[in-house]
A and B are shown apart, each in its own frame.
Chain A
Amino acid sequence: MFESCLEVRQLFSDYVDGQCDREASAAVRFHLRYCEACRAALDSLQAVRAELKLLPHRRVPEDLALRLRVQLSQRLHRNLLERLRVRIENAIEPLLVPASTAVLTAVICFGVLMASGSPPRANTPDVPLQLATPPRVEALAPIDFNTGDQGLTLLTHIDASGRVLDYKVLSGQPSPGLAQMMLFSLFHPATLFGKPTEGRIVLSLRRITVRG
């Protein structure tokens, strides 16, 4: 049982909403049966609630409703473009790392290849562009010897400094002057990737006699 009206009135709000349990509701009803002041208080509370429910429901003005529709439509379409951009980015992004790596690798490989293929040489500015060049005659020693009517054909080994290492007579008659000429003749050595190296050259010698 309640000690005062104040306690009952604390339950009025729940009571009118049907939130009181059965016992509390019965107690409130019992109290109201005998307490005129609380009955009046409850009636006035109900009257206030009724008036609140009678308040006109505010409706969105037509121009505002239209503005809302337009605003949301604009945002929606802006969003569609945004989503399209994101989808394209998402499609491209996974390829970016592999593609960049491939390009970078290609550039590095190209650089390495070019660096090893054409080394900078201060003393020989005319570096041949070919990867390998044969040796060639620079100057034969002016030594007279008889080559015979058929002439001489030699397979000559030239070292990296342009000197004759060895030679072999392929055809014709060898003579003592031949060795001297090979010893003092100068050759451009063969090159490999621009660097001088040993090489072989076939020489054909024929003595030419001019009668005055």
Chain B
Amino acid sequence: MDLAVDRTQSLPAVASEASLVAELQAGSEDAFAYLLGVYQNPVFNLISHILGNDSEAADVLQEVFVKVFKGIRHFHGQSSLKTWIYRIALHEISNHRRGWLRRRLRETASFDHESHEETAASWREQAGRTANPYQVLEQAERQDLVKRALADLPPVFRAVVVLREIEDLSYREIAEVLGIPEGTVKSRLLRGREMLRRRLGSILG
């Protein structure tokens, strides 16, 4: 298998996934480096948006890849590698949430801190592309509102919304990742979107 592909961009095609898995199971360091290159950013993005906190996301991300490393021998291709890794990530997020102290910290302080930091970063990023600073500021504020609204969603709805709207997973993939029927995915997505729409509709409209 040629591992010399762009590690930061592409996801492996289904045909080559089996050989990647075989190399991972054989303990190839190159294969693990490739896996990290391909999946670390999407998984971090997923965890960060669901937890709403980058520093906690970093901890969870490490746990996720440790679990991936340990569990790869038991992966038999029942689902895609991506779905399997996302499922581990969701499971770790769930484990992470169980600590009452972490939950308390997340709800009180960290999200505000995260929002401002993200907003500033986003502002800086977009300032280079856009001439009008007012538009940049307005966009940053809108994103801040969206992130707050997303963070306020109950976790079961938030996970589905993030997987669908941000990670662009299909209903079937979301069902596999969360281990729920597709019908439940649809209903949770409907309710999650409706909650967001009610909260943001007037502001964004």
Q: Do A and B come from one complex?
A: yes
- B-contacting residues of A (Cβ < 8 Å)? 9-10, 12-14, 17, 19, 40-41, 43-45, 47-49, 51-61, 64-65, 67-69, 71-73, 75-76, 79-80, 83
Q: Write the chain A residue with the least CB distance to B57.
A: A58
B-chain residues with CB within 8 Å of residue A57 when the two chains form the complex: 41, 45
A-chain residues with CB within 8 Å of residue B122 when the two chains form the complex: 56
- In the assembled complex, the Cα of A57 lies from the Cα of B189 at a distance in Å of 21
What string of 1s and 0s marks CB contacts (under 8 Å) between B91-131 and chain A? Answer: 00000000000000000000000000010011001000000
A-B pairs under 8 A by CB, number: 120
Asked if A64 contacts B61 (CB within 8 A), the reply is yes
Task: Report the minimum CB–CB distance from B72 to chain A (whole Å).
Answer: 11
- In the assembled complex, the Cα of A40 lies from the Cα of B196 at a distance in Å of 15
Known: A55-B146, A65-B36, A71-B66. A48 touches B200 (CB 8 A): yes
Q: Write the chain A residue with the least CB distance to B198.
A: A44
Q: Chain A's interface: helix, strand, loop or mixed, by majority?
A: helix
Task: Report the minimum CB–CB distance from B188 to chain A (whole Å).
Answer: 10
B-chain residues with CB within 8 Å of residue A58 when the two chains form the complex: 41, 44-45, 48-49, 54, 57
B-chain residues with CB within 8 Å of residue A10 when the two chains form the complex: 190
Asked if B40 contacts A68 (CB within 8 A), the reply is yes
B65 at the interface (CB under 8 A from A): yes
B-chain residues with CB within 8 Å of residue A72 when the two chains form the complex: 32, 36, 65-66, 69
B161 at the interface (CB under 8 A from A): yes
A-chain residues with CB within 8 Å of residue B27 when the two chains form the complex: 76, 79-80, 83
B-chain residues with CB within 8 Å of residue A55 when the two chains form the complex: 49, 143, 146-147, 166
B-chain residues with CB within 8 Å of residue A47 when the two chains form the complex: 200-201, 204-205
Task: Report the minimum CB–CB distance from A45 to chain B (whole Å).
Answer: 5
